[in-house]
Amino acid sequence: MAEIKKTSKMLKIEIQFGEPIEELLCRMYLDEELSSCEIVKQLGTSPTTILDWCRRCGIPIRNESDAVKVKYKNPEYRHKIAEQNREITARPEVQKRISDSVKNLWENPEYHQKMSAINKQKAQTNEARAKRSEISKRNWQDPQKRAAMTSGIRKAKDKQSQAMKEYWGNPEWRTRMIAKIQSACTTAEFRQKMSHISQKKWESPQYREKISQAVSKQMYKRWESPRYRKQQYERMKEIWGNDAPNTPEFIILQLTPSNVQFTGDGTFWRRLPNGQSTNPDFIVKPVKKTRKVIYHHGIYWHRNELHNRGQDLIDQWKQIGFDCLIIWEDELHKDPEGVLNKINDFLCLNGTWQMSLF
């Protein structure tokens, strides 16, 4: 660094800070990246004088762009500029001018295509994703910002919903959109993409549990409707042929007296205390007096109940004042005599009716 002729002010500053003025300015201006105004606060002179000393010491002066970047590193300066910009952009005339400018730019197909490509490329980088995630997490920790974000999302959804309703009321637009969606959904690329997304989501146990609960809740709600149940039974008739008792149920009817009625066609639905609706395979008439129901459970379809042989279902019926008997598929095949004894005990605790195998 070249020798310079030092003024009395320079010599005084050197004595005060204990280092040559050249090294002091180099450290403050270059190493610490302080602006001339910030250096003035420490040295007690003017910004013009600081810049003049830097030139005399051979220190390169920042251009306007570099000076703004250095200033912007100061949190106080950033906050000040942000407040000023917020006040300016809040003015209606400024908002209208900005909106018109953006619309004019966006109407240009070349600009539209160029900006879409740039934004898409930036948004797909890992750095951009991590930055968006970090900003969202930080904002969500602030109660005020979280409330504002929630309110904004709700308003945006309402606005979008209203706009879609207006668009959907236009038959021409509706027909065009349906055709476009159907065309997009039939492509192999779309199906492969949706399959990949679904497989990735399904790997999460929390997601599987959430979907399972939602579907189960929806099905329970639908099943409460007699009309829906009737439609489902009609469909089952088409698949299975009829709603008559199957072979095991027919055997059970042969083992029971005439007052045991088959209800596997969905004629005796009841809601249990756990919120589930169920239809027993048989009832003992008159059911208002006997309050007895009978089930036949196959091993495959009711394998989840094998651990306690359906005791949970029996307890649920008990809570609404019914006695419940469950006859399992393996019992009926391996020990029909035992099944008959179970039926006798269940139907006739006082021994007024007995039946033997024929």
How far apart, in whole angstroms, are the C-alpha atoms of residue 299 and residue 295?
Answer: 13
* Residue spans of beta strands (DSSP E) within the chain: 260-262, 270-271, 277-278, 282-284, 292-297, 323-328
Give the HSE-up count for residue 197: Cα atoms under 13 Å, Cβ half-sphere. 6
The DSSP line for 10-77 is HHHHHHHHTS-HHHHHIIIIIIS---HHHHHHHH-S-HHHHHHHHHHTTPPPP-HHHHHHHHHTSHHH
Sequence-distant (6+) residues with CB within 8 A of 321 are 291
pLDDT value, residue 349: 45
Whether 305 and 318 have beta carbons less than 8 Å apart is answered as no
pLDDT value, residue 352: 45
Tokens of 268: 């005796």
How far apart, in whole angstroms, are the C-alpha atoms of residue 56 and residue 3?
Answer: 9
Whether 295 and 310 have beta carbons less than 8 Å apart is answered as yes
Tokens of 247: 């072979």
How far apart, in whole angstroms, are the C-alpha atoms of residue 71 and residue 68?
Answer: 5
Q: Would the pTM of this model clear 0.85, i.e. be above it?
A: no
pLDDT tens digits for the chain (358 residues)? 556 778 888 888 888 888 888 888 888 888 888 888 888 888 888 888 888 888 888 888 888 888 777 777 778 888 888 888 888 888 888 888 888 888 888 888 888 888 888 888 877 788 888 888 888 888 888 888 888 888 888 888 888 888 888 888 888 888 888 888 888 877 888 888 888 888 888 888 888 888 888 887 887 778 778 788 777 777 766 665 556 678 888 888 888 888 898 988 778 888 889 888 888 999 998 888 999 999 999 888 888 888 888 899 999 999 999 999 999 988 888 888 888 888 888 987 444 444 444 3
Please return the burial class of 129, using the count of CB atoms within 10 Å of its CB with bins 0-12, 13-18 and 19+: exposed
pLDDT value, residue 11: 86
First to last CA, the chain: 120
pLDDT value, residue 250: 85
How far apart, in whole angstroms, are the C-alpha atoms of residue 164 and residue 140?
Answer: 29
Of 12, 88, 93, the closest CA to residue 45 belongs to 12
How far apart, in whole angstroms, are the C-alpha atoms of residue 307 and residue 322?
Answer: 22
Question: Three-state DSSP class for 328?
Answer: strand
Tokens of 102: 């953006």
Quick check: bond before 47 cis, omega within 30? no
